[in-house]
Every structure is written in C-alpha cells, then in structure tokens.
Chain A
C-alpha cells in the first residue's frame, strides 16, 4: 500500500445497526494514525490518535483498532444513531527521518437513517 485508502466510500445504515470501516495505510515508517469525524458544515473533529500495534481505543459507541504490521485500522460504531452521520477520515503519519509525512484517506461517508 502506497497511499491511504478507506473503504467503503459510503455507507447507508439504519438506526441501531452496528457498522465498521477500514483504513489501509503504508506500514513502512509508520508513526501514528488519526481518525476524524467530519460532519457537514462543521470542522473535522479528532476521534482517536493511535500509535502502537494492537492499540484499541474507545469513545462511547465508537472504537478503533490498529494493526501496524499489516497496515490497517478498523473503526467500529455500535448501535448507529442519526447523529453519527458524517464522513470518517483517517490520516496516516510516516516518519521519514527528516520529516513527518501526513496523508489523509478520502473518507467513508456514513448516513444513518431512522
């Protein structure tokens, strides 16, 4: 993997459904992975910063896992609510020695309906 890829591009679920998305990133020179939630007409909001292989973070009904060896992270939402509707972005940070390279994925757009 050379770039940061997110799947699926979009997702439409019903209230109460649980869902998950994937972020794939270059595993070489890995430094950190950020997850953001971006609601329409608002600023991106940080959800998690993950650094260690096997990391698992949780914030309410949202959780994330990290596998740095194979270069992927999963974001899970349990019991989706309409207010979870947003675009979920991941950003990979690689440490190239002299500088950090930050690359965003194109996001997963989640729509939760009643």
Chain B
C-alpha cells in the first residue's frame, strides 16, 4: 500500500505570494490533517479534513486554508506569505474514525519564504 505523498517536496516563494500544497492520503483513509513544524514552535496542528469537511482547526490566521476532494486528496493554501511561514508542512492521514486511530505522516513540504 502506498504511503502518504506530498507535493511538492520543496518550494521557494517570496513574501506576498500565495502557495498551494498537496497531500494524497493512504488509499481508504478519509481523514487528512495538516501540521506546521518550525524550529521555534515545534509541530503545530493546522486543520483536519474528513469527508470533504473541515472537522477541526488549530490557531492559525485565515491566510491558512484547506480543502479536501471527494477522493480524499487534500490541498492547503497559504495566501499573502510572510517570512514566518517558512516551515516544514506535514500532512497525515488516518482511516477517519475517532482520533484514536493511528496517523500516518507524509514526507512533508519544505517551504521557504524569501
């Protein structure tokens, strides 16, 4: 079974631009969560999508948004990029039941904002 895939793996953008990251979950998994990892803040939860609906949301500004498609693939969008958005963005998928299910992480997208 293929694992969680994320594209692109690396991205360089400039301040003010917007970016879209993609995550393909493990086949059969209906829940996709997004996380931001920065050296100073550690791993922080952005949001979770389940069956095309946002089910949970972390404390991030509205510039961070996401969506999920009917095939469970998910995209995350960050508008008006700031230098502080430079981070590793991870997505994780799970079957979709309660949050006691095991989560499987993708390799991440490394975003650098110049």
Contact = CB atoms under 8 A, between A and B. Distances in A.
A43 B90 CA distance: 8
Interface in A48-98: 49, 51, 89, 91, 93
Interface in A9-64: 31-32, 34, 42-46, 49, 51
A44 B42 contact: no
Q: Interface residues of B: mostly helix, strand, loop or mixed?
A: strand
Given A102-B45, A104-B44, A106-B42, A43 B107 contact: yes
Interface residues of B, number: 24
B99 A31 contact: yes
Q: Which of B42, B92, B106 is the most central at the interface, judged by chain A CB atoms within 10 Å of its CB? A: B42
B48 to A, nearest CB: 8
Interface in B58-114: 58, 90, 92, 98-108
7 contacts: A43-B4, A44-B105, A89-B43, A102-B58, A103-B45, A106-B42, A107-B43
Interface of A: 31-32, 34, 42-46, 49, 51, 89, 91, 93, 99-107
Interface of B: 4, 33, 35, 42-45, 55-58, 90, 92, 98-108
